[in-house]
Amino acid sequence: MTDRTGSAFAPRPAGPLLPTLLEGLTRDPGRPRVTWYGPGGERVELSGHVLDNWVTKSTNLLVEEFEVGPGSAVVLDLPPHWRAVVWAFAVWRAGACVLPVVRSGDGASAGAGGGLAADRAVVVTDRPDAWSSSHDVVAVSLGAPARRFEGTLPAGAMDAASAVMTYGDVLTFVQEHDPGADAVEVEGAVVPHGELGTWAAEWAGHLVPGAVSAPGRVLLEPADGDAVAVLAAAVTVLAAAGSVVLCDPQVSRELAADQERRERLVATERVSGAS
């Protein structure tokens, strides 16, 4: 099987993708799996154990507070960021569908988030004011040390920064995965959980052509605010026992203009999947 670039990609693991992927992370818990480079020199590193713990707690929040599960959907209105990876994985671990909001370079929205009906109620976002009171809103702070939402929290919105850590480290009431249930909706196409791995490998090729075929430590350099390819690449690389180094779009642009800095980052992080 090949991606859209014609490159072979790794076979998907047997069984439900996200439970299998997370189980693989815990077999080597201390190994870095997601490393984040943000503006102003911010660097965050998540080991397999820490990433699994964040996903588990976030899954429990979605399930216990909003009854998220197979057949339900969660709007993901976040930029390319390690927290977007965590929340997308949590939605998929719950067996539900991710509806990603596509952000253009000027910060505007397109695609799934622009005209969502009220019945798709749960929204995970870093800009809660952009959503109406008819939605259940989970407000996410993007800053690494944030203990509460940075800014004014709209009435009724849940502050993820203070809430997530209160949930259990072990999954509680997660329903059994339905491979036929919707997993992601992008560009009008709906992908079921049983095909999530194939979809992810195709979309990952948009960001790192060829690099996902033999993932080691892969550099992800999104140029704009569209997180879809980042989520797909994270699924593909982590499912194949790799790890990702993810850059904020601003950092990606800075690296593109400063090749020496980029080469230092590649060497420091021991990136094997960078061009």
Tens of pLDDT, residues 195-238:
999 999 999 888 887 656 556 899 999 999 889 999 999 999 99
Distance CA 126, CA 228 (A): 16
How far, in Å, are 103, 118, 141, 209 from residue 78 at the CA level?
A: 9, 19, 10, 23
pLDDT for the residue numbered 266? 96
CB 219 within 8 A of CB 271: yes
Host H or E run for residue 256:
helix 249-257
Confidence of residue 174 (pLDDT cuts 50, 70, 90): confident
Confidence of residue 188 (pLDDT cuts 50, 70, 90): confident
Please determine, for residue 41, whether its predicted confidence score (pLDDT) is greater than 60: yes
* Residue written as token pair 């190994």: 31
Find the mean pLDDT for residues 139-154: 86
Distance CA 37, CA 164 (A): 22
Please determine, for residue 114, whether its predicted confidence score (pLDDT) is greater than 50: no
pLDDT for the residue numbered 260? 97
pLDDT for the residue numbered 13? 39
Distance CA 99, CA 115 (A): 12
Distance CA 115, CA 82 (A): 26
* Residue of 137, 104, 100 lying closest to 118 (CA atoms): 137
* Residue of 239, 210, 225 lying closest to 92 (CA atoms): 239
